[in-house]
Amino acid sequence: MAIWRRKLLAVGILAGAAVVARGEAISVSLRVNRTATTDSTNTVDFGPAGLPELPGRVVTGRTPGGIPITAKRVANGYVLKVAGATGTILFGGSIAVEAGGLPYVVQNVDSALRWIPHYRAEGVLTVGPCRERVVVFDDNANGRFDDLAGVDLYRDGRFQFARSFEFCGRVLAVEMVAADGSSIVFREAGRLVAQVGQPAPAVTLTTLDSALVKAAQRRPKPLLLDFWASWCDVCLGEFAAIRKLHESGGVQIVSVNVDEPARVGMARAILGQQKPLWAQVLTGQGTATSAWQAFAPLTDSGGMPLYALIDQNGVLRYAGTGGGAELPEVKAALAKLP
């Protein structure tokens, strides 16, 4: 059977693509967005006595960053003085303030003043063909960007927060964030590279139902990764064989779509028609998907279809085109597993 393949020229391992060397530092310039409110629950510390209950009484507290703030009780709230500016906050209300050159929102909640950053630092992390948004939050509201860094790994507006990330087939660790939010530095901690007969790369897959599948972990059944795209007629033609494997119950299957953002709608339409009952991964990142970056080097031309079979101990036992419409190579590899 003739297998049709399409070359994926954006894969970082191919000639002409930018590749970050192991251990290289990656600096990302950031700008401060002064219109983004966080979910911070930090409060102004007024000591054991808290906010005054008697009208006319004045107390002084400090924000998490040490900025002094005075509160005078009035009939319907408090008059606040912060960084030389004065404003009135009503019971249950909120006001905007500026302190240390940064905007905050103060909320009067449950006899306390919440101190909420109204800012975050934003930039774009670029590695090879991969380009995604990066944000840094001042989570403890102390006026320094040294808390939470996140990457929009799946282009869905949700940021994944950690000290290290799987990104474009690499593991990047956060090394440093400038306190003023002007930059963040990542350093490559390792490559995610698949090799038959070796433990699978430590790739984490997030399915459409938000389940996490870790390729290298031990599991009751072997794991088959099915890489496909909407333009790959052979991939679509082999859905029937994958369905039979799923129905056999002997293997866990996860299909990983690698369509570019412009074709994600087509991929979703195909899933709607096919109605697969096994797990699906659709990141919208195309060839920048970490799993594809890790397994694509095992193909002859960087094309599709591509199947990767990982045994119960997390060792990669097979990688290839499947051998035909009925996937005889995959079935033979499954039969060899204990």
Per-residue pLDDT tens listing for the chain (338 residues)? 233 332 222 222 222 223 344 478 899 999 999 998 887 789 999 999 899 999 999 999 999 999 999 999 999 999 999 999 999 999 999 999 999 999 999 999 988 999 999 999 999 999 877 888 999 999 899 999 977 888 877 666 778 787 778 888 888 889 999 999 999 999 988 888 899 999 999 888 999 998 989 999 999 999 999 999 999 999 999 999 999 999 999 999 999 999 988 999 999 999 999 999 999 999 888 888 889 989 988 876 567 899 999 999 999 999 999 999 999 999 999 999 98
Residues 319, 298 contacting (CB under 8 angstroms): yes
Does 123 lie in the same domain as 113? no
Is residue 261 in a domain?
A: yes
Does 164 lie in the same domain as 29? yes
**What's the CA angle centered on 87, arms 85 and 93, to 5 degrees?**
140
Does 299 lie in the same domain as 173? no
- Domain residues for the domain of 173 are 25-34+119-191
Does 299 lie in the same domain as 232? yes
Two tokens at 287? 């060839």
Does 211 lie in the same domain as 138? no
Residues 261, 154 contacting (CB under 8 angstroms): no
Does 168 lie in the same domain as 29? yes
Give me the pLDDT at residue 317, please: 97
- Chain CA centroid to CA 184, Å: 16
Does 235 lie in the same domain as 247? yes
Is residue 80 in a domain?
A: yes
Domain count, the chain: 3
Is residue 9 in a domain?
A: no
Give me the pLDDT at residue 329, please: 96
**How far, in Å, CA of 134 to CA of 202, rounded?**
22
Does 330 lie in the same domain as 225? yes
Per residue in 229-250, pLDDT tens? 999 999 999 999 999 999 999 9
Handedness of CA 212, 217, 220, 225 (dihedral sign): positive
Is the whole model's pTM more than 0.85, yes or no? no
Is residue 43 in a domain?
A: no
Is residue 101 in a domain?
A: yes
The residue out of 191, 217, 252 marking a domain boundary is: 191
Is residue 3 in a domain?
A: no
Does 326 lie in the same domain as 279? yes
Does 135 lie in the same domain as 102? no
The residue out of 75, 91, 117 marking a domain boundary is: 117
